[in-house]
Amino acid sequence: MSSKHQHTIPQFYLKSFLTPGLVYRRGKLAPHPVRNPKKVAVKRNYYGKAREQRGAIEHLNAFTENKGAPVLTKLIQNYRNITDSDWVILSYLLASFAVRTPAAVEEFRSTQLVAAAKVNEMAERMIVKIDEALSEGKDMSLLVDSSPPGSESLTLDRLNKEWSILGMKKGHLLAVQALFAALPIVAKGMRKMTFQIWEAPSDLFFLTSDRPLYLQSRLTGSRVGAGWGKSDALGCIALCPSRFLCMFYHKDPSIYSLVAPPEVVAIFNFETIRFAYEEVYSPFEYPPAYAWMRGEG
């Protein structure tokens, strides 16, 4: 693909699911069969044009993929050979899965815009209260900006300027920058987690989606309020059709594997579909994905 067409999910990751496979897109009547992931999860200049400063994010993605792909293969095939340096590389690769997708970007953008509306609503109420106090002759000097001379205060006007950009057509680029700024923090958290790898029986498989790595609370099972820095964080991703990874905080960091009974495979696939944004990717026909696509379940 040209540099204008950027993959929001790495091709090397999707290859095991879609060579060949099926793309189940929400709202469509039938899945789309593909022979390779070349044209799947692709957006034009999604991370910025190459000649722009933001284009550096696409280069960062390429660097992370090149370094991370062999380590992910090692995690799948023989996790006992993972070294300390592999552990760091793997954390950055998985962290990029968590922040680079349109699902993550649009969720962040939506959250910020909702917060903006609430902040402005609170500000309007505060202005009314201040006007009432001033009309009553009360001393409001404590509300004067006490920032040191020459410092840049975080004014509501400045925040609204950023929020207005966030709501524009290309406002997702601001969200992308904010999410990638958190990449080292997410990766650091992952390096403190226990990795639990589930192996599917030979006659079953895992599928993935356009939110390949999803985060939820172990206590509630919800994405609402979930955070990588929280003790109840649970990160999940299908590493390939035969392996599924769960990450959580539990004593010291470690990696171990389990054989998944059929009901566990079904649960993980259900969760993958539940947290999908617009598309589900499967190496074989999967009726629950078909039902989700058509809005029937």
What pLDDT, in 10s, does the model give residues 150-193?
A: 444 456 666 666 656 566 667 788 888 889 999 999 999 999 99
- pTM for the predicted model, two decimal places: 0.84
Measured between alpha carbons, how far is 289 from 86 in angstroms, rounded to an integer?
A: 34
147 located within any domain: no
- Number of domains composing the chain: 1
Q: For residue 191, tell me if it sits in a domain.
A: yes
149 domain residue, yes or no: no
DSSP 142: G
pLDDT at 246: 98
| Residue 105 counted as domain residue | yes
Q: Within a domain: residue 177?
A: yes
Q: Which long-range contacts (CB under 8 A, 24 or more apart) does 188-193 make?
A: 188/91, 189/228, 189/229, 189/233, 190/90, 190/91, 190/94, 190/95, 190/228, 190/235, 190/247, 191/87, 191/88, 191/91, 191/253, 192/249, 192/253, 193/233, 193/235, 193/247, 193/248, 193/249, 193/250, 193/253
Within a domain: 148: no
Mean pLDDT computed over 112-130: 65
pLDDT at 156: 60
Q: Tokens in use for 87?
A: 């552990």
Residue 202 lies in a domain: yes
In a domain, 244, yes or no: yes
Q: Is the pLDDT of residue 95 over 50?
A: yes
Confidence label for 195 from pLDDT (cuts 50, 70 and 90): very high
Q: What's the mean pLDDT when you consider all of the chain? A: 88
- Asked which of 116-130, 163-177, 220-234 is least confident by mean pLDDT, the reply is 116-130
Query: The domain containing residue 191 runs over which residues?
Result: 5-142+154-293
User: What is the reported pLDDT for 148?
Assistant: 53
Angle, helix 156-166 to helix 102-135, in steps of 10 degrees: 150
Q: Are 12 and 62 in contact (CB under 8 A)?
A: no
Q: Which of 244, 238, 214 is nearest to 226 (CA)?
A: 214
CA separation for the pair 212, 44 (Å, rounded): 20
Q: pLDDT band at 209, cuts 50/70/90?
A: very high
